[in-house]
Amino acid sequence: MSVWTLGINHHTAPLDLRGRFAFALDQIQPTLDGYRQSLARQPEATLLSTCNRTELYGAGDASAVDPTLDWLAQTGGVSTHVLRDHAYVLRDDQAARHAFRVASGLDSMVLGEAQILGQMKDAVRAANDAGALGSTLHQLFQRSFAVAKEVRSSTEIGAHSISMTAAAVRLASQLFEDLKDIRVLFVGAGEMIELAATHFAAKTPKSMAIANRTLERGEKLANRFGAQVIRLADVPDRLHEFDAVISCTASTLPIIGLGAVERALKKRRYRPMFMVDLAVPRDIEFEVKALTDVYLYTVDDLATVVQTGKENRQAAVAQAEVIIDAGVASFMNWMEQRNPASGVVPLIQQINAQADEWRATELARARRMLAKGEPVEAVLEALSKGLTQKMLHGTLAELHTGDNAARAATAQTVSRLFLRESSAKSPTAPNSPRDPQA
């Protein structure tokens, strides 16, 4: 059994390539189904897709990585060679470390941002619904979430971070003298647009409008911010009314084209327009960026802005890496214990089988006693004594055999296994914490 990660992100691939491998949340389950059916031996799998990354996490035979790369390239409509030039493959401890760093916000464009954790949880939930989340990946991600929580609560990794939407407001403030004098259009009604609307609303612009494919959802968001609602189909004809346009939808094709923007500029008498495209793939055609009176920013363009304050968080990053290292070591130890070569799993199975046999024997004896009319209290007493004697017989026998050194070693092991709680509460160790693994 091996765990691995295959992916591309904002460090390794340009925006347009990432856009080819963007999957909406409702696409994850059927995509995972298709992926696993393409392989002879189906691995555990989870697909994480955000603006900044698309990653497949797998657990199973390590030989599945190469066909996974071929499948992903075909899905995105590029050659395997092109994808390989921009992709990364991480295995075992490196894969675990990457998952923990992603969950903790250390691998994000906005260092320490918390949104990625929710996106990972959504991806894991979708994988579970698809029947693709086995015990290994379940363990990996549950540990990722625990590590992320510890990083968030024990360090200042999120302090002073600037979100993508806050960066958009900052850039708009550099273009317009006073944001109170502008009209803002938000295209979409998802989480990113909600965050953007929150930041812009704080600057009390002259007006705000929400355009969304689903009017009901657009109206709900508009009511929250006192904005008007317009139909998505009306955006090209009304584009000239707005000084700032923030777009983030799940559309697979641009919804604001070059022609629409050119017409809007003409109606505006070429007064500047500020546009932010937070979508992957793009909502606004790439050619719009070349227009003289348009200031268009994509998620990658915002990268330099959101790095502000990064230096102040380097100490927190170092603390976070220590927490992550401990989490990786713990996960790899868990993996090693599950390795049949280690002998631990078979031993656990044998112990469970033996305990079940003892339990069945004593239950049968108790039922016979009840059938004979024995008092219930006497039956319970006999049941508990019988189980206790069976479970302790081998241990007590070992304590009486062998030389002094062997008995001392056995005594130490027995104390560690059976007397943990007692020793923690003993007068000699009044402040000893209870072992969390007990």
Distance CA 301, CA 288 (A): 14
List for the chain the helix, strand, coil content (%; round to 5).
Answer: 60, 15, 30
What is the edge-to-edge ordering of all strands in the sheet holding 44-49?
44-49, 53-60, 2-9, 88-91
Distance CA 46, CA 130 (A): 9
Catalytic residue from among 51, 187, 192, 208 = 51
Residues comprising the chain, all counted: 438
Q: Six-digit token pair at 338?
A: 């599950």
Q: Look at residue 256 and give its three-state secondary structure.
A: strand
Supply angle C-alpha 368, 374, 376, rounded to 5. 100
C-alpha distances in Å from residue 26, one per residue of 57, 127, 175, 334 = 18, 11, 37, 32
What is the edge-to-edge ordering of all strands in the sheet holding 228-231?
228-231, 207-212, 183-187, 244-247, 273-277, 294-298
Question: Phi, psi at residue 293, to the nearest 5°?
Answer: -100, 15
Residue 261's CB: how many other CB atoms inside 10 A? Answer: 24
CA 432 centroid distance within chain = 35
Q: Quick check: 177 and 197 in contact, CB under 8 A?
A: no
Q: Quick check: 338 and 1 in contact, CB under 8 A?
A: yes
Distance CA 397, CA 216 (A): 73
Largest CA distance in the chain: 101
Distance CA 308, CA 310 (A): 5
**51 given a catalytic annotation:** yes
Distance CA 283, CA 22 (A): 13
Q: Look at residue 184 and give its three-state secondary structure.
A: strand
Distance CA 426, CA 423 (A): 5
Closest CA to 10 of 83, 86, 113, 115: 86
The secondary element (H helix, E strand) that includes residue 49 is strand 44-49
Residues acting as catalytic residues = 51
